[in-house]
Each structure stands twice: as structure tokens, then as C-alpha cells.
């Protein structure tokens, strides 16, 4: 049995990927999930009853594509959005919609939302997304992993839950990669997985994405540019940030995974038509450094690399044209990336170059080269560094490979090195200093 499966439960869809021990992706399938209900009052909820049918169907499609090789699947792990949770009864049936990671109601109101309508009398357990799915796979309640539990109140330093009104409902906590149980006969019939396949504890989607880039050793850092800019890395000790913008998950092998998420990122280009991005990128490469300094924040408020609820985007200078504007936005996100890495270093978690990168923004070679020039160091693009691969690595650690490090060495694709444009480093460094000075002048950093 030499195959592993990774399950990624995102906001909009489920993805299943089956990998060989050398990292080759042999089968994959996706299923949509219902859109969260977000009526504008801070509420963000999703039908938790939709998770298992979507996962089971995606697994069934993947195992059918594998044919007889499906019997070789030795282990699997589940990664999902951080902080999403739902109350279930003694049979594992959701009692209400799940509260999503971005539900913004105050704690007191959220408690009412979880326990309203007498649910507290029928609730048996609070489940994170993977807990509920593993319950279906194994056929009985299981523990949660310390990564998904972090934002629900688990203290990774003490290795226990913080006291709360929910103590009786909280599940036991296991270290990621721990065997939680094995696939039951009923789940095997539903999914095509072999009965007895190990179900191992996973990590959040952000952590799994980091692992999928191969960032498993101390000093390795990853920048993921999706809608937002997320930076995560590995440090020997936990990072203590007085402002709270940096927080640390526990590494499965005992180290720590500090990081944070900025409100800047790919959203800076949200007003550009997809068909125009490649043209603007090419023009921006020919243009060279922008004539202006831009902080391309959409909306109000920043959370990393500094905490400023009143922060808003700004441009120092007047752009010459649309290409100059585009180039300034690309540089502005790179400035935020550099500032974030410098903040992490100042807190005791320095990044060893090269910084790895993934996400939609990493597909742009021009943007990667600009970021390398701002950092003054190469960046590494990793192909197919997605959450499903990260979950598969967690499944492989201790099953088809000895540990997470050996799993990453064997399964993560060789990254592509993108070098800085040496002739632009000095100018971009000057612009970066102006960017930081402007943030300080405004009292944000």
C-alpha cells in the first residue's frame, strides 16, 4: 500500500487528490459546496450537512479512476478552513449551519448563534470540518487536530483547551499526522477506499499550503498570494508578538509555524480584467520601477504586517499611465511582503532565502521577479503547491514515509528559481523606504 490521499475542504469546493510515494498525482476530483450565507450582519454560515456527501463523491470518483490501485491507498488526511465549526448531536448530525472562519459576530452573540433554539440540550460535540468528516470515515467520534483547534481556543503552548463555556463539548486534541482511526466498512463501500485505510490528523488549509511548498525546515518561509497575502514559515521557538498580528501553529515534528495574513494581495488587481493581466505584466516588465509608491489596500483596515483598523490605500505621486499604476500595485504588495518578513525576523523568526511562493500571484513570472528585486533575493515558485498536496504529505508522514521532512523531500515538486532584476534593486529599495516612512507618518507602523 503505497498511495496517500489528501482532502481539501475549501469554502467553495472540495478537492481530493491521490498521490504516489514519489509525489505523482494519480487521481483527483472536485465537488462544489453551497455558498456561505452572508447577509451583511457579520454572519457567515454554511450547510455542514453538505460536507460529507461532497467528500464521499469526490473520493468515489478518484478511487474509480484508480481502478484496482485504489486498494493501495494506505492513509489520508483532511485539511479545511481555519476556525470553521459546527455543533452536532450524538449521531454526528449537524444541529445548525456551521459558523465559518469569517463569521464576525461578537463572542457573546456567536455563542447565542451556536446554542440558540435549545441546541445546547441536544449538542454532543463541537466539530471542526475535518472532525466531522473523519467521524464519517471512521464511523465514530474522533479527536481534532491541534491546528484546526487553534482558533477555537486550544493553547498549543500548554497543550490543552483554554477554559470556556463549551468545555463539555470540546473534542480531545491530537498532533497532526496522528492516526485517528481507520476507514470503516461502510465508508469503504461509499467511497471506494480500502477498509482499514489510516485516517491521520491534518492541519488547516494555510498550514497545508505551506507544507506543499516544501517549507518544513526551520528558516523556510512561504508567501502565498491569493486574494490576500499570507506568509508562513518554520521557527525553532514560538513567536510572541505583542500586537497579535503574528500567531504560531505547532509543527507536527515539534517546531513552530509562525505567520500572518495581510489584507493586501491579489485583491490589488481586482479591477483588472483577467484577459488584460498578461498584457499589463509584460508592459510592466518593460516599464521598470514605477514612478510612484503605492499601498494597494482595498477597503479599510490592515492586520499584517501591522495592525491598523483605520488603514486605507494610498499613492505617493501621480502615476503616468495604466502601466505605471499596475507596476506600482505589484511593487506595493512586494513591499508588504518585505515588511512582513522583516517583522517576523525582528520577532525571532528570520527567513532563510530563498522564500518560496505559491498561489495565483505566483503564476506571474513578472510579479515574482519584482518581488525578488524588492527582497534582493531569489524567490522559488512551486508547481501544484495546493492544499490537497499538503494534506497528502500529512497522510504520508509516518505511513509511506518516515516523517514529514522525508515526505516533503520525496513528494514536493522541484521549485523554479526566479532571480531579481539586479539593475532595479537599488531603486526599489529606495521606494520601499519611502513606503515604510509613509506608513510611520500615518501612525500605522
- Per-residue confidence of the chain (445 residues) as pLDDT tens digits? 799 999 999 989 999 999 999 999 999 999 999 999 989 888 889 999 999 999 999 999 999 999 999 999 999 999 999 889 999 999 999 999 999 887 877 656 656 566 655 566 778 899 999 999 999 999 999 999 999 999 888 999 899 998 777 788 899 999 999 999 999 999 999 999 999 999 999 999 889 989 999 999 999 999 988 888 989 999 999 998 988 889 899 998 889 999 998 999 999 999 999 889 999 999 999 999 999 999 999 989 999 999 999 999 999 999 999 999 999 999 999 999 999 999 999 999 999 999 999 888 998 999 999 999 999 999 999 888 889 999 999 999 999 999 999 999 999 999 999 999 999 999 999 999 999 999 999 999 8
Model pLDDT, residue 404: 95
CATH, residue 405 = 3.30.420.40
Distance between CA 169 and CA 129 in Å, rounded?
Answer: 15
Statement to judge: residues 119 and 246 lie in one domain:
no
Model pLDDT, residue 84: 93
Rounded to 5°, angle at Cα 183 from 177 and 185: 175
Statement to judge: residues 219 and 319 lie in one domain:
yes
433 contact partners, CB below 8 Å, separation of at least 6: none
441 contact partners, CB below 8 Å, separation of at least 6: none
Statement to judge: residues 159 and 256 lie in one domain:
no
For residue 137, the 8-state DSSP code is H
- In the block, which residue shows the cell 537599488? 426
Taking residue 431's Cβ as centre, other Cβ atoms within 10 Å add up to 25
Statement to judge: residues 327 and 197 lie in one domain:
no
The reply to whether 210 falls in a domain is no
Distance between CA 439 and CA 343 in Å, rounded?
Answer: 14
The reply to whether 39 falls in a domain is yes
The reply to whether 103 falls in a domain is yes
The reply to whether 209 falls in a domain is no
Total number of domains constituting the chain: 2
Q: Can you read off the three cell numbers belonging to residue 398?
A: 509516518
Statement to judge: residues 132 and 241 lie in one domain:
no
- Tell me whether strands 3-9 and 73-80 are parallel, antiparallel or unpaired: parallel
The alpha carbon of residue 75 and the mean position of all alpha carbons in its chain are separated, in whole angstroms, by: 22
Is residue 299 exposed (0-12), middle (13-18) or buried (19+ Cβ within 10 Å)?
A: exposed
Distance between CA 290 and CA 271 in Å, rounded?
Answer: 19
Statement to judge: residues 260 and 302 lie in one domain:
yes
The reply to whether 392 falls in a domain is yes
Q: Report, in this order, helix, strand and coil percent for the chain, each rounded to 5.
A: 40, 25, 35
Confirm if 376 and 426 have CB atoms less than 8 A apart.
no
The reply to whether 417 falls in a domain is yes
Provide the whole-model pTM.
0.86
**Domain-ending residue, one of 143, 174, 202:** 202
Distance between CA 390 and CA 250 in Å, rounded?
Answer: 15
Model pLDDT, residue 336: 97
pLDDT digits (tens, 9 = 90+) for 214-258: 999 999 999 988 888 989 999 999 998 988 889 899 998 889 999
326 contact partners, CB below 8 Å, separation of at least 6: 269, 272, 280, 281, 283, 284
**Domain-ending residue, one of 202, 233, 263:** 202
Statement to judge: residues 188 and 259 lie in one domain:
no
Statement to judge: residues 124 and 241 lie in one domain:
no
Statement to judge: residues 196 and 220 lie in one domain:
no
pLDDT digits (tens, 9 = 90+) for 6-53: 999 998 999 999 999 999 999 999 999 999 998 988 888 999 999 999
Statement to judge: residues 300 and 152 lie in one domain:
no
The reply to whether 410 falls in a domain is yes
Domain of 100?
Answer: 3-202
- End-to-end CA gap in the chain: 52
The reply to whether 207 falls in a domain is no
Name the strand (E) or helix (H) holding 19: strand 13-20
- In the block, which residue shows the cell 435549545? 118
Which bin fits 290, alpha (ψ -120 to 50), beta or left (φ > 0)?
A: beta
Model pLDDT, residue 226: 84
Statement to judge: residues 369 and 243 lie in one domain:
yes
Model pLDDT, residue 64: 98
Statement to judge: residues 192 and 231 lie in one domain:
no
Which bin fits 83, alpha (ψ -120 to 50), beta or left (φ > 0)?
A: left
Amino acid at each position: 500500500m503505497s498511495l496517500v490521499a489528501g482532502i481539501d475542504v475549501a469554502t467553495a469546493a472540495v478537492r481530493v487528490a491521490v498521490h504516489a510515494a514519489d509525489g505523482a498525482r494519480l487521481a483527483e476530483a472536485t465537488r462544489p459546496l453551497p455558498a456561505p450565507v452572508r447577509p451583511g450582519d457579520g454572519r457567515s454560515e454554511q450547510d455542514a450537512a453538505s460536507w460529507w456527501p461532497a467528500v464521499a463523491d469526490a473520493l468515489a470518483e478518484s478511487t474509480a479512476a484508480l481502478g484496482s490501485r485504489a486498494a493501495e491507498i494506505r492513509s489520508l488526511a483532511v485539511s479545511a478552513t481555519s476556525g470553521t465549526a459546527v455543533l452536532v448531536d450524538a449521531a454526528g448530525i449537524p444541529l445548525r449551519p456551521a459558523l465559518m472562519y469569517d463569521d464576525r459576530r461578537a463572542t457573546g452573540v456567536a455563542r447565542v448563534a451556536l446554542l440558540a433554539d435549545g441546541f445546547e440540550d441536544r449538542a454532543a460535540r463541537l466539530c471542526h470540518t475535518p472532525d466531522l468528516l473523519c467521524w464519517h470515515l471512521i464511523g465514530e467520534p474522533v479527536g481534532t487536530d491541534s491546528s484546526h483547534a487553534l482558533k477555537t481556543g486550544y493553547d498549543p503552548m500548554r497543550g490543552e483547551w483554554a477554559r470556556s463555556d463549551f468545555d463539555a463539548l470540546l473534542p480531545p486534541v491530537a498532533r497532526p499526522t496522528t492516526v485517528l482511526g481507520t476507514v470503516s466498512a461502510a465508508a469503504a463501500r461509499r467511497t471506494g477506499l480500502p477498509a482499514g485505510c489510516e485516517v491521520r490528523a491534518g492541519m488547516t488549509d494555510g498550514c497545508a499550503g505551506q507544507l506543499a511548498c516544501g517549507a518544513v525546515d526551520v528558516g523556510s518561509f512561504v508567501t502565498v498570494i491569493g486574494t490576500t497575502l499570507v506568509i508562513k514559515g518554520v521557527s525553532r521557538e514560538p513567536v510572541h508578538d505583542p500586537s497579535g498580528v503574528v500567531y504560531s501553529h505547532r509543527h507536527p515534528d515539534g517546531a513552530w509555524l509562525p505567520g500572518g495574513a495581510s489584507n493586501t494581495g491579489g485583491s490589488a488587481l481586482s479591477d483588472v480584467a483577467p484577459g488584460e493581466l498578461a498584457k499589463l505584466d509584460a508592459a510592466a516588465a518593460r516599464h521598470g520601477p514605477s514612478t510612484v509608491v503605492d499601498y494597494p489596500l482595498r477597503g479599510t483596515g490592515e492586520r499584517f504586517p501591522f495592525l491598523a483598523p483605520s488603514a486605507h490605500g494610498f499613492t505617493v505621486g501621480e502615476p503616468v499611465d495604466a502601466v505605471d499604476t499596475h507596476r506600482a500595485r505589484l511593487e506595493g504588495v512586494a513591499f508588504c511582503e518585505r515588511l512582513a518578513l522583516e517583522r517576523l525576523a525582528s520577532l525571532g523568526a528570520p527567513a532563510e532565502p530563498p522564500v518560496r511562493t505559491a498561489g495565483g500571484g505566483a503564476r506571474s513570472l513578472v510579479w515574482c521577479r519584482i518581488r525578488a528585486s524588492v527582497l534582493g533575493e531569489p524567490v522559488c515558485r512551486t508547481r501544484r503547491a495546493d492544499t490537497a498536496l499538503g494534506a497528502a504529505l500529512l497522510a504520508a508522514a509516518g505511513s509511506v514515509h518516515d516523517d514529514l521532512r522525508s515526505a516533503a523531500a520525496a513528494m514536493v515538486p522541484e521549485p523554479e528559481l526566479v532571480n531579481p532584476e539586479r539593475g532595479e534593486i537599488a531603486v526599489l529599495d529606495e521606494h520601499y523606504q519611502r513606503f515604510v516612512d509613509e506608513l510611520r507618518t500615518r501612525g500605522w507602523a
